[in-house]
Amino acid sequence: MRIRPKRLRQGDTIGIVSPASPSEEESLQRALPFLEQLGLKWKFGKHVYDKNGYLAGTDDDRRQDLEDMFADPEIAGIICARGGYGSARFTDKLDLQLIAENPKVFWGFSDITFLHTAIGLYSNLVTFHGPMLASCVGKQEFHELSAKMFQQLFEPMELHYTEDISPLTTISGGTAEAELIGGNLSLLVSSLGTKFEVDTKGKLLLIEDIREEPYRVDGLLNQLRMAGKLAEAAGVIIGDFADAEPKKEPRAASLDTVFHHYLGDLRVPVVSGFKIGHCEPHFALPLGVKAKLDANGKTLTILPGVE
């Protein structure tokens, strides 16, 4: 059982960090009134607006901001400003014992998947795959359901996903109840062969991605297959694959064809169509808790992520 962080309360202060790519100040500032509506105060990491090419400052500075927020007793939770690229560059130097000793809400997705995986493996902490401040909350199209998903941080609540939210497709039938892990497919594959290699054995695996054409998704899933990660999974939850249409080969295989090829014969439940990832609405969820995927009934039930 992973450690579930303490729930947030109105009046709490959350830390805002940029572990990957830089955030536009205007977008991040637009997200702050939403935090006020939640009754939260905030504190910026020292390097939240730094720019170092495609990175939000140096690796050491981004790592230090994250460690400082976990170590600060006044910080009740941490929300990432955006993803992009760069979290994995400092993960091998991240003080994961510090995080284990100071469990608190940690929220983000996309490139943050590498941190979710590492923290789950070595800090034994439930973390949250959800929309970030500058790249999601600060945008005009931020959906009402996306906003509602933050309430799971204030009260332990079971989450239920049905076709009332979006149409779902059963690729392989059955039911499985297991720990929920995963996130961005590219980042999960990049963990292979490292000390942070994703552990799918007996787990429900969530995958999502953006701007990856079907042939690229094919290659990523094939690498997971050859690494034994697909055969070990108890089930697969396919989130949103935004902007994934073939750009050069009009007669290329569809994404659905790729999913059926790699996942259709696993003999475990596999369902696609979940609005989880680079999409609106974005159904946020805790990673590291028990969940139940019913591919026949097309439902996903997830246990609470906070204490």
Active site residues: 110, 208, 278
Helix (H) or strand (E) holding 114: helix 113-122
As a whole number of angstroms, the distance between CA 82 and CA 22 comes to: 8
As a whole number of angstroms, the distance between CA 147 and CA 143 comes to: 6
- β strands within 190-302, DSSP E: 203-210, 235-242, 270-272, 285-287, 290-294, 299-302
Q: Considering only CA atoms, which of 227, 244, 236 is closest in space to residue 203? A: 236
Query: In this structure, how many other beta carbons lie within 10 angstroms of the beta carbon of residue 46?
Result: 13
As a whole number of angstroms, the distance between CA 217 and CA 132 comes to: 24
Q: Considering only CA atoms, which of 138, 41, 40 is closest in space to residue 81? A: 138
Q: Considering only CA atoms, which of 268, 300, 275 is closest in space to residue 201? A: 268
Helix (H) or strand (E) holding 172: strand 169-172
As a whole number of angstroms, the distance between CA 125 and CA 135 comes to: 24
